[in-house]
Amino acid sequence: MDHNVDETDRRILHQLQKDASLSVDALAELAGLSRNACWRRVKMLEQSGVITGRVALLDADKLGCGLSALVLIRTDRHNADAMTALQNAVSVMPEITGAYRMTGDLDYVLRVRVADVAAYDTFYKRLISKVALSDISASFVMENLKDTTALPL
């Protein structure tokens, strides 16, 4: 189902990106709508796939996975089997919080969360046991300057 997002929808989405736990009443007030009109719009945004889910954002440090790494991967196998092997590995490794197939010099970039460098080494060994890679390197995040799930509306 297609849905054209208008300015009222954008106001709703802006507020939900900041706090998805808002009650319908609070959201309606912030969006300048009646409760029922707001509820209908949210349901339409969900049904059309504009809103794909609602989540709780967690503090990685407090949960023991404070080290963030970007893993840069090159492979010398560019076929369906190699892509499937990497997709399968990514799907079963919870440390991988983002995985991207790239253009240019890199084939893949992974966003990984672990406790520390020793935990990264354990992750690395598991990954290379699952997937044949020609080159893999990691850069560890020193400081988080910006990390958001919010889209620019």
The predicted pLDDT at position 76 comes to 87
Number of domains present in the structure of the chain: 2
Q: Is 95 exposed, middle or buried (0-12, 13-18, 19+ CB in 10 A)?
A: buried
Answer yes or no: is 83 within a domain: yes
Answer yes or no: is 42 within a domain: yes
User: What is the tens place of the pLDDT at every residue in 58-89?
Assistant: 999 999 999 999 999 999 888 899 999 999 99
CATH of the domain at 124: 3.30.70.920
Same domain membership, residue 106 and residue 42: no
CATH of the domain at 17: 1.10.10.10
User: What is the tens place of the pLDDT at every residue in 86-100?
Assistant: 999 999 999 999 999
Find the domain containing 39 and state its range. Answer: 7-47
Q: State the average pLDDT over residues 52-60.
A: 94
* Distance separating alpha carbons of residues 89 and 25, to the nearest angstrom: 43
- Average pLDDT value over all residues in the chain: 95
The predicted pLDDT at position 1 comes to 64
Count Cα atoms within 13 angstroms, Cβ side, for 26. 8
Same domain membership, residue 127 and residue 82: yes
Answer yes or no: is 152 within a domain: no
Same domain membership, residue 38 and residue 76: no
Which pTM was predicted? 0.87
